[in-house]
Structure 1
Amino acid sequence: MKALQYVTVGAEPEVREIPTPEPGPGEVLLRVTAAGVCHSDDFVMNNPPEQFGIELPLTLGHEGAGQVTALGEGVRGIDIGTNVVVYGPWGCGNCWFCAQGQENYCSRAAELGIMPPGLGSPGAIAEYLIVDSPRHLVPIGDLDPVATVPLTDAGLTPYHAIKRSLDKIRPGSWTVVIGSGGLGHVAIQLLRYLSSTRIIALDVNDEKLEFARSVGAHEAVLSDDRAAGNVRKITGPAGASLVLDFVGFQPTIDTAMAVAGVDSDVTIVGIGDGKSAARVGFGISPYETTATAPYWGARAELIELIDLAHAGVLDIATERFSLDEAPEAYRRLAAGTLRGRAVVVP
């Protein structure tokens, strides 16, 4: 089968022919119908593989959708032919976090060497994908896999981040969304559906700001060295009750902290360079402001998102690429020229 693999440190990923996998006991084989491209992949490819314990070559793609084509010995509860998406942050299934469906925070994953598809285990940008357990599959029925597959990360991650702060974004509050791209444009739609908060989107050019307005932002502000002051002109002295930073570099984190109000949440979702951090302390940050960096979301939250998709709540902007065009999708991702989410269709 064909697969997009990261083969050589510092080089672009390559489309290669590799053996088609067969499911072992407890595993499920999917024929991939769509796979998302994400900044997390770019982050991994720009750092030494040993930093993450990853062996090369690695098939990329941690956003996956497919059709069940074969079941390993002992698999129950899923039928061949079922259309599904893959819950990516795999865990042990037994620890306290996993027992609540929060496999994204599995306490034993590192110890047991469990890694998400595309971020350590073979990923979804291929013709076929092995999923380690049927519990990591969510049926999608007749939903379009191309439009649905970004929900597994670009939807799940902001959904999780927003849900934990719903009590903060009361009517009359302001929420600031920094970065209106793959995750940010989904966050804006979720905020509009889940709350009455008013949304200020920050991004780097007029085209991206207009995109943010088109998906529901009430205000749009250029993300530059004057951004914090311009946001404060809108929010007034109260500041923002919630700030979602989908970029995560030091300038955007500093802006996030500068626009936050008293008793607010600053949620740093973007990976950035993996080194930037928020400054929190007496006289530095607003009183009782919480700064946090979440990771992905729970299995139950992905099921909820699929229900929202069936209800027609979300309109995910996607650009389609064939498997042979997948390297170009990563070039576009790195250049920042994608509108929404890139999806590879084998």
Structure 2
Amino acid sequence: MRALQYRAVGAAPEVVEVETPVPGPGQVLLRVTAAGVCHSDQFIMDLPEDQYIYGLPLTLGHEGAGVVESWGDGVKGLTVGEPMLVYGPWGCGRCYTCAQGKENYCEVAAELEIRPPGLGAPGAMAEYLLIDDPRHLVPLGDLDPVASVSLTDAGLTPYHAIKQSLPTLVPGSTAVVIGVGGLGHVAIQILRTLTASTIIALDQSEPKLDLALEVGADQAFVPGEEAERQIRALTGGRGATAVFDFVGAPATTAFASQVVSVGGEIAIVGVGVGTVDVGFFSTPWDAAARAPYWGSRSELMEVVQLARAGKISVEIETFSLSDAPVAYERLRAGTIRGRAVIVPEQQEPGR
């Protein structure tokens, strides 16, 4: 089968021929119908050799959708051809957090060397994807896999971050979204659906600010001193109740610290090196900062229900598997509107 692999540190990913996996006991094989492109992929490919821990060659793609092709001994309840989304943050399935469906916070995944597809295990940017356990599959139903595949991260990750802040996002509150990319534009829709907050979006790109307004933001600004003044003016001087930073760069986390309100919350969602210093002289009284990661299995089911109800959708641009390297070039250049999705070409007989 064909797959997009990162094969050497510092090199561009390339499409290669690899062996088609065969499911062993307890495993499921999917024929891939779509795979999402994420900034996290670019982050790990930009790591220097002394920090790279994901193994080579690495088949990319931690957002995956496909149809059930076959399975190994011990798997029950599946049907060949059944459409599925892949829950990506695999855990052990046995520890306390995994028992709650929070495999994104598995207590022993690192110890047991359990890695997500595309982030250590072979990913979804291939014609077939091996799933370690059927519990990591969520039925897609009649949703379009190409339009829906990014719900597994670009939908789940902001949903998980926002859900934790819902008690504070009451009428009269203000939510600031920094970065209107693949995750940020979905976050705006989730905030619009689940809260009565005023939503302010920030991005350096004018087209992305336009997208923010299209999907439900009340205001959209280029970050900077003027944006900070605007946020203060719109909140009567209080600042933002919650700030969701989908960039995570030092400049954006510093901005979040400047605009958060007394008792407010900062969620650093973007995979970057920015940090927030919390203390008497660095943040407003009782302000809190956290770094949520991905989301739980039950939350992915909830995200799918929001999509099925027409409350959220992902802006996508599609690329064939052959053109997947171009998608990463566009991602680096910042010219993707929403999320890039890789769609494998029609498979040839015998592959």
> TM-score range with shorter-chain normalisation?
over 0.9
Counterpart of 1:240 in structure 2 is: 240
Paired residue secondary structure (1:244): strand
What is the RMSD of the two structures over their aligned residues, measured on CA atoms?
1.0
Q: Is the 8 A contact 2:55 2:120 kept in 1?
A: yes
Taking the TM superposition and a 5 Å limit, the aligned residue runs for 1:1-346 are 1-48=1-48, 51-272=51-272, 275-346=273-344
Q: Is the 8 A contact 1:77 1:134 kept in 2?
A: no
For residues 132 and 52 of structure 2, the distance between their equivalents in structure 1, rounded to whole angstroms, comes to 20
For residues 4 and 276 of structure 2, the distance between their equivalents in structure 1, rounded to whole angstroms, comes to 35
| Cα shift at 1:225 | 4.6
| Cα shift at 1:205 | 2.7
Deviates more, 1:231-240 or 1:24-33: 231-240
For residues 138 and 205 of structure 1, the distance between their equivalents in structure 2, rounded to whole angstroms, comes to 34
Where do 5+ consecutive residues of structure 1 fail to align? none
Q: What is the TM-score when the length of structure 2 is the normalising length? A: 0.96
Paired residue secondary structure (1:24): coil
Counterpart of 2:349 in structure 1 is: none
Aligned residues: 344
For residues 205 and 116 of structure 2, the distance between their equivalents in structure 1, rounded to whole angstroms, comes to 34
Q: Is the 8 A contact 1:221 1:231 kept in 2?
A: no
Where do 5+ consecutive residues of structure 2 fail to align? 345-351
Paired-residue identity, %: 60
Q: Deviations over 1:182-236 (max 9, x none)?
A: 0000000000000100100001132211110000000111123543233222222
For residues 337 and 110 of structure 2, the distance between their equivalents in structure 1, rounded to whole angstroms, comes to 34
**1:105–1:151 distance in 2 versus 1, CA, 3 Å:** same
| Cα shift at 1:315 | 2.2
Deviates more, 1:198-207 or 1:58-67: 198-207
Paired residue secondary structure (2:307): helix
For residues 150 and 143 of structure 1, the distance between their equivalents in structure 2, rounded to whole angstroms, comes to 12
Q: What is the TM-score when the length of structure 1 is the normalising length? A: 0.97
For residues 264 and 78 of structure 2, the distance between their equivalents in structure 1, rounded to whole angstroms, comes to 42
| Cα shift at 1:135 | 0.1
Amino acid corresponding to residue 20 of structure 1 in structure 2: T
| Cα shift at 1:52 | 4.9
| Cα shift at 1:48 | 3.5
For residues 319 and 16 of structure 1, the distance between their equivalents in structure 2, rounded to whole angstroms, comes to 23
Paired residue secondary structure (2:168): coil
For residues 290 and 222 of structure 2, the distance between their equivalents in structure 1, rounded to whole angstroms, comes to 24
Paired residue secondary structure (2:165): coil
For residues 225 and 252 of structure 1, the distance between their equivalents in structure 2, rounded to whole angstroms, comes to 12
